[in-house]
Structure 1
Amino acid sequence: MVPAQFRVVVTRRPKYASRACEDGVLQAEAPARLIEGGPPTEATVAQVLVSKYADHLPLYRQAQIYARQGIALDRSTLADWVGHAAFHLRPLHERLLTVLRARSKPLADETTVPVLDPGRGRTKTGQLWAHAADDRPWRGPDPPGIAYVYAPDRKAERLFSHVAGFKGVVQVDGYNAYPKLAERGEVELAFCWVHMRRNFYELARAGPAPIASEALKHIAAFYAIEKEIRGRSAEERRLVRQQKSRPLADAFEVWLRAKLALISQKIKLAEAIRYALSRWQGLTRFIDDGRIELDNNTVERSIRSIKLSRKNALFAGSDGGAEHWAVVASLVETCKLNDHDPLAYLTDVLTRIVNGHPNREIDQLLPCAYRAQALQAVA
Structure 2
Amino acid sequence: MNHEIISNELDERSQVLIEKVEEMEKEIDSKNKEIENLKNELEFLKGIISNKNKKIFGASSEKVDANQLCFFNEAEKHSDSKVEEPTVEEITYKRAKKSNNIGKKDNLANLERKIIEHKLEGDDLICDKCGSELVEIGVKSRKEILIYIPGKLIVEEHVLYSYACKTCEKENEDSKIVSPEMPKTIFYNSMASNELIAHTIALKYLHAMPLYRQQSYFDMMGATLSRQTLCNWTMSAAKALEPIYNYMKKELLNRNYIHADETTLKVINDNGKSSKSKKYMWLYMSETNAKPIILYDYQNTRSSSCPKAFLGEYSGYLQTDGYSGYNSVSEATRLYCLAHIRRKFYEIVENLDKEALKKSRGVIGFNYCEQIYKLEKELRETYSSNEDYYDIRFNIRKEKLEPILDNFIEYVETEIKNALPRSPLGKALDYAKKHLPGLKNVLLDGSLEIDNNAAERAIKPFVIGRKNFLFANTAKGATSSAKLYSIIETAKANKVVVEKYLVYLFNNLLNIDSNNSEALENLMPWSSSIPDNLKIKIKK
Same fold by TM (over 0.5)? yes
- Report sequence identity in percent: 27
- Distance across 1 between alignment mates of 2:514 and 2:361: 61
Partner of 1:42: 194
Q: Is the 8 A contact 2:296 2:486 kept in 1?
A: yes
Map 1:227-242 → 2, pairs under 5 A: 227-230=377-380, 231=384, 232-242=388-398
Deviation per CA, 1:84-110: give whole Å up to 9, x if none.
111110111011011011101111111
Deviation per CA, 1:325-372: give whole Å up to 9, x if none.
111111111111111111011011111112446641111112232x55
Aligned with 2:401: secondary structure?
A: helix
- Distance across 2 between alignment mates of 1:271 and 1:122: 34
Q: 1:27 aligns with which of 179, 203, 206?
A: 179
Map 1:321-360 → 2, pairs under 5 A: 321-356=477-512, 359-360=515-516
* Partner AA of 2:285 in structure 1: A
- Distance across 1 between alignment mates of 2:513 and 2:209: 30
Aligned with 1:13: secondary structure?
A: strand
Partner of 2:263: 111
Q: 1:101 aligns with which of 253, 256, 259?
A: 253
Cα drift, residue 16 of structure 1: 2.8
Over aligned residue pairs, what C-alpha RMSD do you find?
2.3
* Partner AA of 2:521 in structure 1: D
Q: Is the 8 A contact 1:50 1:342 kept in 2?
A: yes
Q: 1:157 aligns with which of 305, 308, 315?
A: 305
Q: Is the 8 A contact 1:191 1:282 kept in 2?
A: yes
Partner of 2:153: 6
Map 1:140-219 → 2, pairs under 5 A: 142-181=290-329, 184=330, 186-208=331-353, 210-219=360-369
- Distance across 2 between alignment mates of 1:174 and 1:126: 19
Aligned with 2:361: secondary structure?
A: helix
Instruction: Considering fraction of residues, name the structure with more helix.
Output: 1
Partner of 2:459: 303
Q: 1:366 aligns with which of 524, 527, 533?
A: 524
- Distance across 2 between alignment mates of 1:158 and 1:17: 60
Partner of 1:55: 207
- Distance across 2 between alignment mates of 1:152 and 1:124: 9
- Distance across 2 between alignment mates of 1:3 and 1:42: 14
Q: 1:67 aligns with which of 213, 216, 219?
A: 219
- Distance across 2 between alignment mates of 1:374 and 1:211: 57
* Partner AA of 1:19 in structure 2: K
* Partner AA of 1:330 in structure 2: S
Aligned with 2:472: secondary structure?
A: coil
1:78 aligns with 2:238: no
- Distance across 2 between alignment mates of 1:218 and 1:23: 86
1:221 aligns with 2:371: yes
Bigger CA radius of gyration: 2
- Distance across 1 between alignment mates of 2:195 and 2:288: 32
Q: Is the 8 A contact 1:131 1:146 kept in 2?
A: yes
Q: Is the 8 A contact 2:317 2:333 kept in 1?
A: yes
Gap change, CA 1:289 and 1:200, over 3 Å in 2: same
Gap change, CA 1:367 and 1:211, over 3 Å in 2: farther
Partner of 1:139: none
- Distance across 2 between alignment mates of 1:202 and 1:12: 68
- Give the structure, 1 or 2, with the largest relative contact order (CA under 8 Å, sep 6 or more): 1
- Distance across 1 between alignment mates of 2:231 and 2:319: 35
Q: TM-score, normalised by structure 2?
A: 0.64
Q: Which runs of 5+ in 2 are unaligned?
A: 1-148, 169-173, 536-540
- Distance across 2 between alignment mates of 1:238 and 1:64: 54
Q: Which deviates further from its counterpart, 234-243 or 213-222? A: 213-222
- Distance across 1 between alignment mates of 2:208 and 2:361: 41
Q: Is the 8 A contact 2:166 2:175 kept in 1?
A: no
